Amino acid sequence: MSLGPSHFTLPEIDALLYGLLVAVQDEDRAFSQNASAALEKVIAALPDEATEMPPGPPGATPHSAAIHRAIAAELKLQLRYTDKDGKSTARIVWPFLLSVDDAAGYLVAWCELRNDFRQFRLDRMVAAEVLGERYATPRRVLRAEYRAQETLEGRF
C-alpha cells in the first residue's frame, strides 16, 4: 500500500505524527518499535510545503517578524529574555508554535539550554535574532512531540 503526503491535509499529518509519537512510548516493545519505524517513514515522506506559516497571537511585538520567519523557515532563534523574576538570559531555541491565553502571547520552542520544551512570553523578549542555522528536528515533529508530552503529563 502506498499513500503519499498529498493524500493528507496538514492537520491530518499533525494527527498522524501525534498518534505515532504517543505509540512510540507504549510499553509493548514490539508495538513501540513498529510505531517508530512508521514514524520515520512518515517524516521522510513529508512535503517541503508542510512548513506553512503558523497563525500568531493577536498583537504584534517588535520581534514578531523575526519569530515568524524563524518558525516558517525552521531556523534557530537567539533570544534575550527576561524571566518573571526580572533575570535576563540568552537562549538559543527551536521555535515551532505561537500560542495565546488570557494573560499573554507565548512562543513555544525547544530550548537548547534546558534541553526541553519551554514557553516564552512574548512581552518578556528583549531581543530575537534569527540565526542562519536550521534546527535538526522538523517543526511538525517538535509540535507533535510537545503535544504528546503535554498529553502524557495531563496538561492537554
Assigned domain for 85 exists: yes
Q: Are residues 75 and 97 in the same domain?
A: yes
Give the residue numbers spanning the domain of 144: 64-152
- State the DSSP H helix or E strand holding residue 23, giving kind and residue range, or none if neither: helix 10-24
Assigned domain for 128 exists: yes
Q: Are residues 45 and 102 in the same domain?
A: no
User: Tens place of pLDDT for every residue, the chain, 156 residues?
Assistant: 566 556 777 667 766 766 776 676 678 888 878 887 787 677 666 655 443 434 444 445 678 778 888 888 899 999 999 988 999 999 999 999 988 776 778 899 999 999 999 999 988 999 999 998 999 999 989 999 998 888 776 654
Instruction: Give the Cα separation of 18 and 68 in Å (integer).
Output: 23
pTM over 0.85? The answer is no
**DSSP state for residue 118 in the 8-state scheme:** E
**DSSP state for residue 31 in the 8-state scheme:** H
